[in-house]
Amino acid sequence: MNSEPTIKRFYRLLILSFMLLSLSLYMGCEKDDDPVTCNTVDEAGELVEATFTMSLTPAQVAPFLELYGAPIGFTLTHSADAYKIHYMTRDKDGELILASGVMFLPQGVETMDLVSVQHGTALKRENTGSVNPFYAMDGIMFAMSGFMAVAPDYIGLGVSEDIHPYLHAELTANAVVDMLRAARIYACENDLDISDQLFLAGYSEGGYATMAAQKYIETDYSDEFQLTAVAPMSGPYDLIGSTRDLLSRETFDIPAFLAYVVVAYDDIYGWNRLSDIFNEPYASMFPGLYDGTQELADVNDQLPPAIDALFKTDFTTAFFAGQEIAIQTALEENTLLDWGPVAPVRLYHGTADSTVSIDNTLSAFASLQAQGGTSVELVTLSGADHPGGFIPSMILAEAWFDSLSIASQ
């Protein structure tokens, strides 16, 4: 007589169990079907497009390395594939813009360390790695040594049509950080195995960009990136000191560099003062000379090496009298001597460099240590001028990174 309630309870329990099992299976399927999220933490750094451009072999690269001063017998191990990268970053107004760079993936390497390699000064928009990978020779070198290497073009170069924010620390660092974000997205979406180690290296403007990126990563993005080691090379880190030095000279062989800073800052800070700073006919030639269509050598040929021919005497007099407050403040804000690095740093510079004085690196070496940097080293290249220090510095930095790499062990 008690069997009916028992049977009813049994069926109710059976139905309930079936419902719970179905629900759990449904939820399990939902979880399995949910794609892995590879997006960045910000719209800046979003990967827009990655396009394969070419494969490169060590034999193809060797003649170029010899041309740049690589020692006889220097060899690279891996072939590498180059990809043009389009990604999002932010301009001087904080607006999202399209930027570009190049990524190199070594062939035959299972687990890769990630390195960002920052290039030296370029004026022509096409003279960048995303357009021609050979313009990112340093990135090729690292990839052929087994690293996943990325090289941002920077704002104003490559696909970007803005005026390049030359030697502006924050905007330069943003382009580097956002390129790293895009590279990580690519690795995630394509199931590439990259380690947790992250390296930075760069020469000339790239040395400045490398130090700026380290400063901003360790100050503002330490929850997102942990740097393993950083190698800034022959960069103008002491921007205010370098500007005072160059303006005090009678001549400077590459006036295009000095004018580049002023024209870029005039655009970034909205001064609209080019006619107050430069003599004619040069004032009227700016910012047009820096529109991304001309080679550095062509721009330099149109400017006088004599400082008093290029700059108005009233401007230089006011500058040294401390009356050009806005310009001096901007230069001081973008000088990279006021912070203490966390990750190990090795500074490289040629002793015969007349383009970017070694005083920049000596000042940085002393200041970074004084600001609390506990692992800051200085490596000087005896007799090396600015072009001659490029490849030797990169070879030394790559060997240092390789000694720290867990993936390569």
User: Is the pLDDT at 272 greater than 50, yes or no?
Assistant: yes
Q: Are residues 320 and 305 in the same domain?
A: yes
Question: Which whole number is the average pLDDT over 107-125?
Answer: 96
Q: Would you state the pLDDT for residue 34? A: 46
- Stated as kind and residue range, the H or E segment containing 149 is strand 148-152
Q: Which of 107, 164, 160, 157 is nearest to 136 (CA)?
A: 157
User: Is the pLDDT at 407 greater than 90, yes or no?
Assistant: no
Q: Would you state the pLDDT for residue 72? A: 76
Q: Is residue 365 part of a domain?
A: yes
* Tokens 């947790």, residue located: 196
Q: Would you state the pLDDT for residue 31? A: 38
Summarised one tens digit per residue, pLDDT across range 50-74 is: 999 999 999 999 988 888 888 877 8
Q: Are residues 233 and 248 in the same domain?
A: no
SS3 of 103, please?
strand
Question: Which whole number is the average pLDDT over 123-138?
Answer: 96
As a whole number of angstroms, the distance between CA 101 and CA 327 comes to 30
Q: Is residue 16 part of a domain?
A: no
In sign, the C-alpha dihedral spanning 337, 230, 141, 98 is negative
Q: Would you state the pLDDT for residue 32? A: 42
SS (H, E, C) 87-98: EEEECCCCCEEE
Summarised one tens digit per residue, pLDDT across range 194-203 is: 999 999 999 9
Q: Provide the token pair at 147.
A: 């690293």
Q: Are residues 246 and 325 in the same domain?
A: yes
Mean pLDDT of the chain: 90
Distance between alpha carbon 331 and the CA centroid of its chain, in Å? 20
| Domain-ending residue, one of 275, 299, 333 | 333
Question: Residue 114 forms beta bridges with which residues?
Answer: 148, 198
Q: Are residues 354 and 245 in the same domain?
A: no
Residue 131 sits at the vertex; the CA angle it makes with 130 and 132, to the nearest 5 degrees, is: 95
Q: Is residue 33 part of a domain?
A: no
Q: Are residues 233 and 194 in the same domain?
A: yes
Which residues are CB-contacts of 348 (< 8 A; sequence separation ≥ 6)?
Answer: 207, 231, 232, 233, 234, 361, 379, 380, 381, 389, 393, 396, 397
Total tally of structural domains belonging to the chain = 2
**CA 155 vs CA 87, 171, 173: distances in Å:** 11, 8, 10
Domain extent, residue 374, equals 47-237+339-404
Summarised one tens digit per residue, pLDDT across range 346-399 is: 999 999 999 999 999 999 999 999 999 889 999 999 999 999 999 999 999 999
Summarised one tens digit per residue, pLDDT across range 39-48 is: 766 799 999 9
How is the chain split among helix, strand and coil, in percent rounded to 5? 45, 20, 35
For residue 354, the one-letter residue type is: S
How sure is the predictor about 36, in pLDDT bands with cuts at 50, 70 and 90?
Answer: low
